[in-house]
Amino acid sequence: MTKERWIGIAVAVATVVATLLLLALLPANSRVSYDCTDPTERERIREIALKGIDDGLQNAISHLFDVWQKDPTTSQPQRAQVGTTNAINAHIRARQHTLAWSPPICDAEKPK
């Protein structure tokens, strides 16, 4: 390996270590904080998020198929399969996170 490649690897490793260290030092509650909402609005937001996630999967599958149609190489079916698997896994995780999402409910006396 060349000296430049070693330097590049060292910089990449240092960047990853520094990022992980910073993330570990941040308080857990400072990472995500949602404003309070009423239950009706929370469910409306959840429906919008789920629709967006479903639309995203449909768009990803359509894009993968479009690429497959335009690329007749023998490696394309496997590449499309990997892309489909990634899209489906992302869809499943996004739905799970959206269904588990639970912002605080606003008290009647507190302003929203």
Domain ranges of the chain: 1-33, 35-112
C-alpha closest to that of 32 among 44, 21, 23 = 23
Rounded Cα distance between 90 and 50, Å, is 13
10-residue averages of pLDDT along the chain (112 residues): 74 78 65 82 94 95 89 84 93 94 78 50
3-state secondary structure of 89: helix
Query: What is the sign of the dihedral through the CA atoms of 16, 96, 40 and 48?
Result: positive
Both tokens assigned to 40 = 């009706």
pLDDT at 26: 65
pLDDT at 82: 92
Q: 91: Cβ–Cβ under 8 A, 6 or more apart, which residues?
A: 53, 54, 56, 57
Which ranges of 1-112 does DSSP label H, i.e. alpha helix? Answer: 3-25, 39-70, 76-100
Both tokens assigned to 81 = 């399969």
Residue at 92: amino acid letter = I
pLDDT at 35: 86
pLDDT at 74: 81
Its pTM surpasses 0.75: no
